[in-house]
């Protein structure tokens, strides 16, 4: 009970019941106003010092593959945070945002095809690179 009271006091949540048909204060507060995430339907732009990579996933005939998971592994031994991932769209295109500068390996994975050949690249601060093809 004491924890709930402290939480309510520190977050500014009132412990009163709302009027009938009214939302509670917690329900009516917009998460984006608290800086938690972007408004619905919009994404938060990544910081300027991270890399953005984009490309396409194709099969052996060059046809696009939708729904592939694009995975990333940092190759620098001191890198300890979790890398971003993406999913290929209907036209096979993908976008990876939020990569820290350094050496990375990326590949596509799909239950129908397995893993694509990995692509090893070096990313720089604020880099925007497109045309990275991942093929099965």
Q: Which of 122, 119, 126, 73 is nearest to 102 (CA)?
A: 122
SS (H, E, C) 119-133: EEEEECCCCEEEEEE
pLDDT in tens, 80-92: 678 899 999 999 9
Q: What is the domain count for the chain?
A: 1
CA distances from 22 to 26, 27, 28 (A): 11, 10, 9
Higher pLDDT, 16 or 93: 93
Q: Is 5 in a helix, a strand, or coil?
A: helix
The verdict on residue 93 lying in a domain is yes
What is residue 25's predicted lDDT score, i.e. its pLDDT?
45
Whether the CB-CB separation of 96 and 19 falls below 8 Å is answered with no
What CATH number corresponds to the domain at position 76?
A: 2.60.40.1120
Domain that holds residue 107: 51-135
Query: pTM value?
Result: 0.64
The verdict on residue 6 lying in a domain is no
The verdict on residue 9 lying in a domain is no
């Amino acid at each position: 009970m004491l924890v709930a009271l402290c939480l309510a006091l520190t977050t500014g949540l009132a412990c009163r019941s709302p009027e009938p048909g009214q939302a509670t204060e917690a329900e009516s507060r917009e998460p984006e106003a608290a800086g938690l995430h972007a408004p619905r339907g919009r994404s938060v732009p990544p910081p300027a010092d991270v890399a953005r990579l984009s490309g396409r996933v194709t099969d052996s005939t060059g046809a696009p593959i939708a729904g592939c998971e694009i995975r990333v592994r940092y190759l620098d031994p001191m890198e300890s945070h979790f890398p971003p991932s993406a999913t290929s769209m209907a036209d096979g295109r993908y976008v990876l945002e939020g990569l820290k500068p350094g050496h990375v390996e990326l590949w596509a994975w799909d239950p129908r095809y397995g893993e694509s050949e990995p692509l090893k690249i070096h990313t720089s601060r604020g880099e925007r690179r497109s045309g990275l093809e991942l093929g099965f």
